[in-house]
Amino acid sequence: MSSQIDHLLTENRRFAPSPEFAANAVATADLYAQAHADREAFWAEQARALHWHTPFTEVLDWSNPPFAQWFADGELNVAYNCLDRHVEAGAGDRVALLWEGEPGDERRITYAELTDEVRRVANVLTDLGVEQGDRVAIYLPMIPEAIAAMLAVARLGAIHSVIFGGFSADSLRTRIDDAGAKLVITSDGGYRKGRVSPLKPAVDQALADRGNGPQGTVEHVLVVRRTENEVGWTEGRDIWWHDTVPQASADHVAQPFPAENPLFILYTSGTTGKPKGILHTSGGYLTQATFTNRVAHDLHPETDVFWCTADIGWITGHTYVTYGPLANGATQVLYEGTPDTPHPGRWWELVEKYGVTILYTAPTAIRSFMKLGREIPQRFDLSSIRLLGSVGEPINPEAWMWYRNIIGAGTAPIIDTWWQTETGAMMISALPGVTETKPGSAQVPLPGIGVDVVDESGEHVGNGNGGLLVLTKPWPSMLRGLWGDPERFVETYWEKFQDKGYYFAGDGARLDDDGDVWFLGRVDDVMNVSGHRLSTTEIESALVGNEAVAEAAVVGASDETTGQAVVAFVIIKQSYLDAHSPEGLAGTLRQWVGEQIGPIARPRDVYIVGELPKTRSGKIMRRLLRDVAEGREVGDTTTLADTAVMSVISAQVK
């Protein structure tokens, strides 16, 4: 079967960088030339922006692919790079975290204060027996202690596994067991949607309710007091953070560890199947996190107020909340709660209050703000914003335009950044001040990154064609494996294009006439209608382009005549729901898609639903919708943000 994906939607809008922006931009076009001239020398130069206790002499060892080593004979301490070195350089008084709790409590934490806190936590962890290579599970809300915990683990050369605070006891247990964690760091709870959301009970349950399984590796549970709800207590195992950390010494000398010392395990969100324990190491990861955060976010650490809205339980929170911004010495906003608590303008209130200059968020958030209407952000002063970023899913051109016009005053450049838990840091993105941007396209590989779109046999498809996205060259922040499963690592990512040595990303993409990359959806989700391979992203973008539609998800369901048929699930804006019948809306939308992209893409069914199934990081889980569209029992829903949503959708479809 051909891997060509028929491309049907066109987009001609272009936005050149303003001369003022370009004049002050961190990135220059010269970076591409430098990387092109000598890729390894280029990455070595970026790595030297970090502090190395022992400088490296080798850059890349690719003698045993796909197992890469970067900067292998160098030694560094990741936490020292994020903290102590800024204090030693005189920036100790700079604010690292502008933290705001959901109830409105605030803390401003300087680099000097955060460094002290992390040293104390490191001393406590050492007392609890944590050493290099040990695994520590972190199950915390978005509070400063979460970042301090990650950095303290890193400081000791141990390995953190951050588990999203919304996951159940069950997911927690599988992840704790898979990693063999020695310590769990949690809190009594966190604030979500105006209420206390307890966390400790899930830890207690994960550790207690072990059936006939192994007794488990966890020796202690370190508990932050955040919400002051009653918690169960296991004497000898459980320890309060406030009983130990403030009392601990703030003297702690960061030891050097090899560049390839593991830094963290992070389980993917499970959009396409069972979560995988992605393993990242230290020197290469920190190099690419720091570099991309600086050039793609155009970060000026002395003057910018950066805000990446991702939870630390997601890779975006690791790379662009904890590691990138802190290694760059930036000031950033950290917010504990949900965007609509206590009012739907909360995010915009925070932008105004803290003078956020760079905002990095996900298309799902942007679409939900669109649904609520522009009046809400327009009540706030967003004039501090000068750059916008998007990550996590393709951003539909309509959402891109709304983001630029309503949040970015029609002037802020938007970077649409493509990357994965596996890639560790951004891989494809415009460079602000350099690239002319296009709504809906992620555009170009970052300097030093090798990307191609190929057919099933690994051949370049050429401009104007669709195919499979591959990464053609090893990169510093690449995953080093799947925890405990080297075979699945090779099988999942490397076997498909073994001859070429390409990494298979699992995403469909297209090159336009300029050679820019457009993402078309997961390869697993591509539909085949009467022999035409159709992109979920394109049809969803067409639907979102209709003024009645707030959100859309499209899947291919088996069909006797066409092989597969397009089935759409759409959320309609309230004002349109009130004024039109569901049948009328469905008919209008079928016709609309036919006009926008052609009869072949016209959905067989349009279901009007109230919600879509999403992962914790806001991605649509199309495989579950396919189950509904094909009348099957709905598959594994454990990584959904709201597990009840599927029964509601199934009922609405009937």
Say how many C-beta atoms besides its own lie within 10 A of residue 241's C-beta: 21
Sign of the C-alpha dihedral computed for residues 264, 270, 272 and 274 taken in this order: positive
Instruction: Say how far residue 495 (Cα) sits from the centre of its chain.
Output: 25
Q: Considering the complex, what minimum distance in angstroms separates the CB of residue 577 from ligand ATP?
A: 29
How many other C-beta atoms can be found within 10 angstroms of the C-beta atom of residue 14? 10
Name the minimum Å distance from CB 163 to ligand ATP. Answer: 14
Number of other residues whose CB lies within 10 A of the CB of residue 494: 16
Q: At what angle do helices 536-544 and 582-597 cross, to 10 degrees?
A: 120
Question: Using CB under 6 A, which of the segments 7-15, 164-172, 210-218, 418-426 binds ligand ATP?
Answer: 418-426
What residue has token string 């197992």? 67
Select the span of 40-48, 158-166, 388-396, 575-583 touching ligand ATP (CB under 6 A): 388-396
Q: Which of residues 612-641 bind ligand ATP (CB under 6 A)?
A: 617, 619
**Pick 31 or 469: Cβ nearer ligand ATP:** 469
Q: List the x/- string, 213-252, binding to ligand ATP by CB under 6 A.
A: ----------------------------------------
CA angle 313, 291, 401 (to 5 degrees): 70
> Cα(238)–Cα(528) distance, rounded to whole angstroms?
54
Q: Are 637 and 643 in contact (CB under 8 A)?
A: yes
8: exposed, middle or buried (Cβ count in 10 Å: 0-12, 13-18, 19+): middle
Q: Which 3 state secondary structure label does DSSP give 522?
A: strand
Span near ligand ATP by CB under 6 A; candidates 152-160, 182-190, 217-225, 417-425 = 417-425
Taking CB under 6 A as the criterion, the residue among 46, 421, 437, 535 binding ligand ATP is: 421
Among the listed ranges 129-137, 381-389, 412-420, 540-548, the one in contact with ligand ATP (CB under 6 A) is 412-420
117 binds ligand ATP (CB under 6 A): no
Token pair listed for 207: 């550790």
- Closest to ligand ATP by CB, 206 vs 621, is 621
The structure tokens listed for 137 are 């599970």
Among 158, 358, 391, 566, binds ligand ATP (CB under 6 A): 391
Distance CA 472, CA 475 (A): 9
| Two structure tokens written together for 633 | 């029992």
Kindly state the smallest distance separating residue 271's Cβ from ligand ATP, in Å. 3
Alpha-carbon distance of 477 to 474, in angstroms, equals 9
Q: Which is nearer to ligand ATP, 223 or 265 (CB)?
A: 265
How far apart, in Å, are the Cα atoms of 499 and each of 471, 493, 495?
14, 13, 9
DSSP per-residue codes, 171-222: HHHHHHHHHT-SEEEEESEEEETTEEEE-HHHHHHHHH--TTS---S--EEE
| Residue 445: cis peptide before it, omega within 30 degrees of 0 | no
Separation of alpha carbons 242 and 187, rounded Å: 11
What is the Cα–Cα distance from 77 to 88, expressed in whole angstroms? 15
CB 575 to ligand ATP: min, Å: 29
Nearest CB to ligand ATP, comparing residues 328 and 617: 617
| 315 in contact with ligand ATP (CB under 6 A) | yes
- Closest separation between CB of residue 391 and ligand ATP, Å? 5
Closer residue to ligand ATP (CB): 329 or 521: 521
Nearest to 147 by CA among 414, 335, 342, 303: 335
CB of 78 within 8 A of CB of 132? no
Among 483, 519, 569, 607, binds ligand ATP (CB under 6 A): 519
Distance CA 639, CA 166 (A): 9
Check binding of 394 to ligand ATP (CB under 6 A): yes
398 touches 544 (CB < 8 A): yes
What's the distance, Cα to Cα, between the start and end of the chain in Å?
34
Q: Which is nearer to ligand ATP, 156 or 310 (CB)?
A: 310
Q: Which stretch binds ligand ATP (CB under 6 A): 20-28, 236-244, 390-398, 494-502?
A: 390-398
- Residue from 272, 338, 368, 528 in contact with ligand ATP (CB under 6 A): 272
C-beta of 187 vs 417, nearer to ligand ATP = 417
Among the listed ranges 153-161, 348-356, 411-419, 625-633, the one in contact with ligand ATP (CB under 6 A) is 411-419
Does 522 bind ligand ATP (CB under 6 A)? Our answer is yes
Q: Which of 178, 393, 516, 538 binds ligand ATP (CB under 6 A)?
A: 393
The residue from 204, 398, 416, 538 that contacts ligand ATP (CB under 6 A) is 416
The answer for residues whose C-beta is within 8 angstroms of residue 522's C-beta and 6 or more apart is: 271, 272, 506, 507, 508, 536, 622
Residues 425-464 that bind ligand ATP (CB under 6 A): 442
Residue 284 marked ligand-binding: no
Candidates 3, 287, 396, 420; binder of ligand ATP (CB under 6 A) is 420
Determine whether the annotation assigns residue 604 to a binding site: no
- Restricting to residues 488-507, name those near ligand ATP by CB under 6 A: 505-507
The 249-268 site mask, x for binding ligand ATP (CB under 6 A), equals -------------------x
- Our CB check for ligand ATP shows the closer of 346 and 619 to be 619
Give least dist CB 423 to ligand ATP, A.
8
Q: With contact defined as beta carbons under 8 Å apart, do 616 and 645 qualify?
A: no
d(CA 453, CA 467): 6
What are the structure tokens assigned to 595, written together? 């006009």
Query: For ligand ATP, which is the closer residue by CB, 118 or 414?
Result: 414
Q: Binding of ligand ATP at residue 607 (CB under 6 A)?
A: no
With CB under 6 A, what is the number of residues at the site for ligand ATP? 24
Q: Which of 3, 115, 271, 536 binds ligand ATP (CB under 6 A)?
A: 271
Question: Measured from the CB atom, is 392 or 448 closer to ligand ATP?
Answer: 392
In angstroms, the CA 163 to CA 143 distance is 14
Closest CB to ligand ATP among residues 337, 521:
521
Q: Which is nearer to ligand ATP, 76 or 425 (CB)?
A: 425
What is the rounded distance in angstroms from the CA atom of residue 440 to the CA atom of residue 254?
Answer: 44
Are 417 and 428 in contact, with CB atoms under 8 Å apart? yes
Q: List the binding residues for CoA.
A: 192-195, 316, 530
Q: List the binding residues.
A: 192-195, 316, 392-394, 416-421, 507, 522, 530, 533, 544, 549
Binding site for ligand ATP (CB under 6 A): 268-272, 275, 315, 391-394, 416-418, 420-421, 442, 505-507, 519, 522, 617, 619
Q: List the binding residues for ATP.
A: 392-394, 416-421, 507, 522, 533
